[in-house]
Amino acid sequence: MIKTITTLVVVIQNAILLEGVVLLVEEQQGFLLLGSATTLEGGVALCLAKHPNCVLLDLDMPSDSSLLAVKTILGADPDAQIIGLVNYELDVCVSRALALGVCAVVGKDQISQALLDTILRRSGPK
């Protein structure tokens, strides 16, 4: 039986939160972190260079820049699974991000097993 590895890029503006998510992901079997960034420019560059299965993307970046990043990543790799991270799950950006192709949204207050479960559900074999 071939074990599937989920490759990840994590893009979160808050460096402390980013570090916590990276530690959480690195502790789990079946995940390979390809890189992380605190800026959208850095995160998009990582995605374009590394082509991860899954991108954890902070949707709470200034203005509509997170939505532009979603368009750029999916434009280059339509199979990328983007999971948005938000402060408030009822935020207006959530519906816009989902309409653009974000496959799931997780509240930043749920970053623990709920996030790992979402990654596995959304980036596993189709």
Listed by start position, the domains of the chain span: 6-123
Q: Which two structure tokens, joined as six digits, stand for 106?
A: 């997780």
10: pLDDT confidence band, cut at 50, 70 and 90? very high
Out of 3.40.50.2300, 2.40.30.10, 3.40.50.150, 3.90.1570.10, select the CATH number for domain 6-123: 3.40.50.2300
Is the confidence at residue 125, as pLDDT, over 60? Answer: no
Give this prediction's pTM.
0.85
38: pLDDT confidence band, cut at 50, 70 and 90? very high
CA-closest candidate to residue 105, choices 82, 73, 77, 74 = 82
Sheet (strand 104-107) strand order: 31-37, 6-11, 54-58, 81-86, 104-107
